[in-house]
Amino acid sequence: MENLIEIADVRHTFQTASGPLPVLDGLEVSVPEGGFVAVVGPSGCGKSTLTRLIAGLLIPDEGSVFVHGARVTGPRANVGMAFQNPVLLEWRTILDNVLLPLEIVASPLSKTEKQDRARKLLALVGLEGFENKRPSELSGGMKQRASLCRSLIHQPEVLILDEPFGALDAFTREDLWQTMHKVKAEEPFTAVLITHDLRESIFLADQVVVLSGRPARTQFTLDVPDTGIRTLDHLYTPEAAEMLNILRHQIEVAQGRVPAKDVA
Ligand SMILES: Nc1ncnc2c1ncn2[C@@H]1O[C@H](COP(=O)(O)OP(=O)(O)OP(=O)(O)O)[C@@H](O)[C@H]1O
Ligand SMILES: [Mg+2]
């Protein structure tokens, strides 16, 4: 199958006031259409920089970034993004916050169809009845649910999630993971998730990419079998424990704490 996103041998160095800072050095990531890839790696290694490559906000010094077979040469409108901080606009209702991307990206939908779509997404994430509330009236988890709807409203070809659940408490986070599976079943998307949570990576993704310390290269890739709708019980199986162990070892290698085992 042709990959929707193809990042091949990417290298990039930032020029900073204190000199050149090599950030990416041999980045390889492929995401098939409908795929869900999680990216993990040490803090500051270049994960958010990777998301900027996909969104076309950064053109690398070397190597190539292709989306849908076309080289990325500038900012792409058809990308949905959600971050650790949901940044909803307080002067807008939740419904109007979700509709925001449709004011920027051209859409063939009528005003009523846009609103219907926003309401449908909000209902899907459990926010039915909150359409006319303001962001400050919602909990952190609810804001993040609204932010997810906003990132999907224009049916982006790629959904980029940069630690969207990082600031939530453990139980809310697990709730959101299950919501993600539910949303993907109803509204198929292709996603790249940046996370520091290994359990989250194997719960949500069908492939986990481990980046090395800075400058980041693709150090290791793990395929996660069985990508249907998962329950939390899945995380307590021996298979899950084995995957988590492999990933934890790879993170320690990336952090330079231990040498790589011959057999991961
Ligand atoms: N525009 C820029 N100019 C200069 N340096 C930058 C720029 N953007 C990022 N950096 C540096 O590049 C490195 C990688 O940054 P990036 O934000 O990609 O890391 P990260 O893996 O997302 O980190 P974290 O896990 O803390 O979110 C950091 O050292 C950062 O300071
Ligand atoms: Mg980051």
pLDDT higher than threshold 80 for residue 40:
yes
Using CA atoms, how far apart are residues 203 and 180, in angstroms rounded to an integer? Answer: 10
Please give the backbone phi and psi of residue 85, each rounded to the nearest 5 degrees, phi first.
-100, 115
116 falls within a domain: no
262 pLDDT tier (thresholds 50, 70, 90): low
How much distance in Å is there from the Cα of 54 to the middle of ligand 2?
14
How much distance in Å is there from the Cα of 113 to the middle of ligand 2?
35
Q: Which residues pair with 70 in a beta bridge?
A: 67
The secondary structure of the chain in percent helix, strand, coil, rounded to multiples of 5, reads 35, 25, 40
132 falls within a domain: no
Share of the chain above pLDDT 70, in %: 98
140 falls within a domain: no
Q: Is 230 in the pocket of ligand 1 (CB under 6 A)?
A: no
CA-nearest residue for atom 31, ligand 1, is 44
Q: Give the position, in ligand 1's atom list, of the atom nearest the Cα of 16.
A: 4
49 falls within a domain: yes
| Structural domain containing residue 2 | 1-75+196-264
- What is the arithmetic mean of pLDDT over 249-254? 96
Please give the backbone phi and psi of residue 25, each rounded to the nearest 5 degrees, phi first.
-150, 80
Question: Residue 227: its pLDDT value, please?
Answer: 62
The CATH code of the domain that includes 33 is 3.40.50.300
Cα(first)–Cα(last) distance of the chain, in Å? 27
43 falls within a domain: yes
- Residues 215/46, Cβ–Cβ less than 8 Å: yes
Question: Residue 194: its pLDDT value, please?
Answer: 97
Rounded to the nearest integer, the mean pLDDT of the chain is 93
244 falls within a domain: yes
Closest CA to 175 of 126, 244, 122: 126
How much distance in Å is there from the Cα of 43 to the middle of ligand 1?
9
Q: What is the pTM of this model?
A: 0.94
How many residues comprise the chain?
Answer: 264
**Per-residue pLDDT tens digits for 87-102:** 999 999 999 999 999 9
- What is the arithmetic mean of pLDDT over 221-244? 88
250 pLDDT tier (thresholds 50, 70, 90): very high
Q: Is 13 in the pocket of ligand 1 (CB under 6 A)?
A: no
How much distance in Å is there from the Cα of 195 to the middle of ligand 1?
15
Looking at the 3D structure of the chain, how many domains does it have? Answer: 1
Q: Is 255 in the pocket of ligand 1 (CB under 6 A)?
A: no
Question: Residue 102: its pLDDT value, please?
Answer: 94
130 falls within a domain: no
215 falls within a domain: yes
Residues 6+ apart with CB under 8 A from 104: 77
121 pLDDT tier (thresholds 50, 70, 90): very high
Closest CA to 150 of 72, 194, 142: 142
pLDDT higher than threshold 60 for residue 264:
no
Query: CA-based angle 98:101:107, to the nearest 5?
Result: 115
Question: Residue 145: its pLDDT value, please?
Answer: 95
Which of the ligands is closest to the CA of residue 23?
Answer: 1
